[in-house]
Amino acid sequence: MRHTVHVMATLAPPPVRRLLDAATALTTPLLPDDYLAYVNPLWSRREPRGIVDAVVPETRDAATIWLRTPQGWPAHTPGQYVRVGVDVDGVRQWRTYSLTSLPRRRDRRIAITVKAVPGGAVSHELVHRTARGTVLRLAPPVGDFVLPHPVPPRLCFVTAGSGVTPVTGMLRHLDAGGSIDAVHVHLAPSAGDSIGAAERHRLAARHRGYVLHEHHDDRDGRFGARRLAALVPDLGQRETWACGPAGLLDALTEHFAALGRPAALHLERFQPVVAADGAQGEGGTVTFTASGRTIEADGAIPLLVAGEEAGALLPSGCRMGICHSCVGRLTAGAVRDLRTGERYQAEDQMVRTCVSAAAGPVEIDL
């Protein structure tokens, strides 16, 4: 679903690219790219970067971060995301964040909206400690949680918390096109925690076809499928895009299945995977052969978490099995997918460490 290209070879301006090509042979083992990145971080061809241009607070624990991107940066489709590399305490960590800005801006700026989550070192770094001028690593935009072309005539958006961010990009795109025909139900703990609420209310005032329902838990109580059916009585006739906690998305999946229209529901999951009933592995000794680290892990701990606890520096991105950046080769033993319970044996099997747990002794080439 989320496949990432890690190298972009055409980000520098043409004169700089010609200089790089000519100078490469003279600077080995270092590349000209290594030197030019010191002059202008956006000239790097091997490791795309973005420079923080502004950090705009959204709520007490969320902010929109504007980044200047290099020439040649690919335009995204509203609803897509980028992987962002952040150095935290000397260790580079990668996370994925939805793009909330319009594509193809003349100033080549992009925006991501980040919510600082409990225990989230990267999100806290971005929201509370990132300053203008900070250099972040980037991977090109990807993701298929997007609107089709042509856009369906009747839309519904169901979002909760930071799950509103990919839909924010869609709404801005629809607004720029001149019309919105959608019902939008957004859930937040309180009015103060509702990311982008003021902008949505302005959209509702500007577009008669955009019907907004803001649900605040402290005011309206617990939200359920029955409440959704009351707010959107024609839900079964609308194409629906939903992003939020697993419980909400699972309830929507059941609801659309009962309506006989499961294909009309499009989901984006932000939260880390949680072991499904019966999905845990047996646990065992996990050996990361490339880094020489070994740890005892139980059957509910993802290999990624086990490796980090053992001190191995493992590649990671979304940490939900979506972006495919944490893939490693299983060379011995077996693992179990925490989402589905499916078991995979080692026969040169590539597995995603963030959603796989040990099912006995395991060796993985990471």
Report pLDDT for 195.
Answer: 97
Report pLDDT for 36.
Answer: 44
Q: Which residues contact 106 (CB under 8 A, 6 or more apart)?
A: none
284-365 to CATH, choices 3.10.20.30, 3.10.150.10, 3.40.50.300, 3.90.320.10: 3.10.20.30
Dmax over CA atoms of the chain, in Å, equals: 69
Q: Which residues of the chain have pLDDT under 50?
A: 1-10, 25-39
Report pLDDT for 117.
Answer: 86
155-269 with 284-365: one CATH topology? no
**Radius of gyration (Cα) for the chain, nearest Å?**
22
Report pLDDT for 7.
Answer: 36
Q: What angle do CA 95, 96, 102 make, to 5 degrees?
A: 140
Query: Please, where are the H alpha helices in 234-319?
Result: 246-258, 303-310
Report pLDDT for 315.
Answer: 77
* Dist CA 174 CA 17 (whole Å): 37
Report pLDDT for 10.
Answer: 46
Report pLDDT for 350.
Answer: 87
Report pLDDT for 278.
Answer: 56
Per-residue tokens: 282: 């047996």
For the 14-138 domain, the top CATH level (class) is mainly beta
* Dist CA 118 CA 61 (whole Å): 10
What DSSP assignment string belongs to 119-164? T-HHHHIIIII--TT-EEEE---B-S-S--SSPPSSEEEEEEGGGH
What residues does each domain of the chain span?
14-138, 155-269, 284-365
For the 155-269 domain, the top CATH level (class) is alpha beta
Residues 251 and 327: beta-carbon distance below 8 Å:
no
Pairing label, strands 49-59, 135-138? antiparallel
* Torsion angle defined by CA atoms of residues 351, 356, 357 and 359, in that order, rounded to the nearest 10 degrees: -50
